[in-house]
Amino acid sequence: MGLSGIVNLFTRITELAAGVLKDFFAHIIIKSFALSIKVGGKDAADTAINYGKVCSVVYPLTSAVISSMKYTHYGVDILPDFTEGAETKIEFFAIFKTRIAHLVKIVLKHGFKALKMLMELKNIKDN
């Protein structure tokens, strides 16, 4: 197997993984999602910088996840703790729901594709 074969293999594995995740998350319902972050730092200036960095990552990421899934309740709280030497603390709680039938469907749909790829790999290795 040459370089193009390896690249092709990784492309197919990536596409398979993306398909599994897409199908899985399409059927997940978020019953409850809570994220609480208390941002600290060495001093007030450090805390403010850390707070900005955390907000710039957490809010867009949470928005992307929540908007792509069904949900009933979620909350995100990010608060700065200006107490000198305060540590950053993270609390996360989530309840997800799906149906077993959806999981079985995903396993059957993508499992056969994965087995086919494994058999092709075995044939290439044997030759």
55-109: pLDDT as tens digits: 999 999 988 888 877 888 889 999 999 998 899 999 999 998 888 998 899 899 8
Amino acid 123: pLDDT: 75
Residue 102 to residue 99: CA distance in whole angstroms: 5
pLDDT value at residue 69: 79
User: Rounded distance, CA 104 to CA 99, Å?
Assistant: 9
Provide the mean pLDDT of the chain. Answer: 87
Question: Residue 74 in 3-state DSSP?
Answer: strand
**pLDDT: is 68 or 14 the higher one?**
14
Phi, psi torsion values for 61, nearest 5 degrees:
-65, -45
The percent of residues in the chain predicted with pLDDT above 70, rounded, is: 94
Task: Give me the helices (H) in the chain, please.
Answer: 3-26, 44-67, 100-126
Single pTM value for the model: 0.61
Per-residue pLDDT tens over the stretch 85-98: 899 999 999 998 88
Whether the predicted pLDDT of 2 surpasses 70? no
